[in-house]
């Protein structure tokens, strides 16, 4: 039940908090980055199973984004077909997104 409440409150509290903070520049970008890092850690079993080969760079570092881990696996040629498709989708939104994200983490 607590998980459901947390998910329900996330968006409204993020918006309300936006009006409470003094420096609003990049507020939602930072929230998205935090959620991305959370997803990398929380969903590591799924990400490791479906997006990388057995010898690939592992997802799960709480200080790293999903895109950074994807970028390292793209660089190392250890993405599965699903991983390559996800990287291609992200790269269509932002050219070389995953490769660029490597330098932004760790």
Which structure tokens are listed for 91?
A: 């790269």
Q: For 73-93, what is the mean pLDDT? A: 97
Domains identified in the chain, total number: 1
> Among residues of the chain, what percentage have pLDDT more than 90?
83
Q: 67-77, pLDDT tens digit by residue? A: 999 999 999 99
In a domain, 30, yes or no: yes
Residue 8 lies in a domain: no
62 half-sphere exposure, CB direction, 13 A CA radius: 1
Closest by CA to 70, choosing from 59, 55, 54, 60, is 59
Domain assignment present for 41: yes
Q: Is residue 87 part of a domain?
A: yes
Q: Note whether 97 and 65 are within 8 A (CB).
A: no
Q: What is the pLDDT of residue 103?
A: 72
Contact between 75 and 68 (Cβ < 8 Å): no
Residues 34 and 49: their CA atoms lie apart, in Å, by: 23
| Residue 80 falls inside a structural domain | yes
Residue 9 lies in a domain: no
Q: Which domain holds residue 33?
A: 24-102
Mean pLDDT (the chain, rounded): 93
pLDDT at 59 over 80: yes
Q: Is the pLDDT of residue 105 over 80?
A: no
Which has more pLDDT, 10 or 44?
A: 44
pTM, two decimal places: 0.84
- Write the DSSP symbol of residue 64: S
Q: Say if residues 53 and 66 touch (Cβ distance below 8 Å).
A: no
């Amino acid at each position: 039940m607590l998980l459901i409440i947390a998910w329900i409150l996330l968006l409204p509290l993020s918006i309300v908090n936006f009006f409470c903070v003094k420096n609003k520049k990049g507020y939602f970008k930072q929230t998205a980055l935090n959620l991305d890092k959370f997803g990398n850690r929380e969903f590591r079993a799924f990400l490791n199973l479906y997006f990388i080969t057995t010898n690939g760079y592992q997802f799960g570092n709480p200080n790293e984004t999903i895109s950074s881990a994807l970028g390292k696996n793209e660089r190392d040629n250890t993405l599965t077909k699903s991983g390559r498709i996800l990287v291609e989708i992200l790269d269509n939104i932002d050219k070389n997104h995953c490769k660029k994200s490597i330098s932004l983490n760790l």
